[in-house]
A and B are shown apart, each in its own frame.
Chain A
Amino acid sequence: SAVISQKPSRDICQRGTSLTIQCQVDSQVTMMFWYRQQPGQSLTLIATANQGSEATYESGFVIDKFPISRPNLTFSTLTVSNMSPEDSSIYLCSVEADQGANGELFFGEGSRLTVL
């Protein structure tokens, strides 16, 4: 298994500002993902955070808006840039543990952002 800590758990932000969300895992993992859950919606994959290289973004998401860092196998950050009210969402970090996970994803508790 894997235990994931996300910070901040919630924040209220002003339009036009940027916020960085941190994700810390208690073990080294190869696969780390960032999801978004807009109000009343399901989870949508933003990108796969790759250690030592640029993140792989899903259709509709771009690096300029959601820059991601992955400096090592236990940590990643997601920045939401130039925020607008439409960015108000829960942002979730998830990982697939390298050993014996058999496809299971583990999730952080999420970071709930409200943009005014």
Chain B
Amino acid sequence: AQRVTQPEKLLSVFKGAPVELKCNYSYSGSPELFWYVQYSRQRLQLLLRHISRESIKGFTADLNKGETSFHLKKPFAQEEDSAMYYCALRGDSWGKLQFGAGTQVVVTP
């Protein structure tokens, strides 16, 4: 069975501080991993995906197959990063995503 675990429900950081959102997964094959974000009063949207290996809004995430992790990192948090972040996994089935519980990030000035 596939599972996505986000251990932190809430992450509170100061502006300019580093932020790391943890995501661990359980899947027997080769998964695709994504981070989705939902800003206040906006719809859920893709932040980044592991196959792109790109930095979006200063965020990066590296897939570590040995540790089955896909942690999201940003070296200097900004107030506009305050949002709900979901880690998601896609296994065999085209399109279907398994979401983690989500982590609420609050960046305070």
Chain B residues with Cβ below 8 Å from A53 are none
Contact of A103 among B43, B51, B100 (CB under 8 A): B51
Q: Mark each residue of chain A from 37 to 76: 1 if its CB lies under 8 Å from any CB of chain B, else 0.
A: 0000111110010000000000000000000000000000
Closest chain-A Cβ to B87's Cβ sits at a distance in Å of: 10
Q: Give chain B's interface residue range (CB within 8 Å of chain A).
A: 20 to 34
Chain A residue at minimum C-beta to C-beta distance from B96: A45
Residue of B nearest to A44 (CB): B99
Which residue of A33, A43, A102, A107 contacts B45 across the interface (Cβ within 8 Å)?
Answer: A107
Which residues of chain B have C-beta atoms less than 8 A from A31's C-beta? 94-95
Listed in ascending order, the chain B residues whose CB lies under 8 Å from chain A are 32, 34, 36, 43-46, 49, 51-52, 86, 90, 94-102
Binding site for B on A (CB under 8 A): 31, 33, 41-45, 48, 92, 96, 102-110
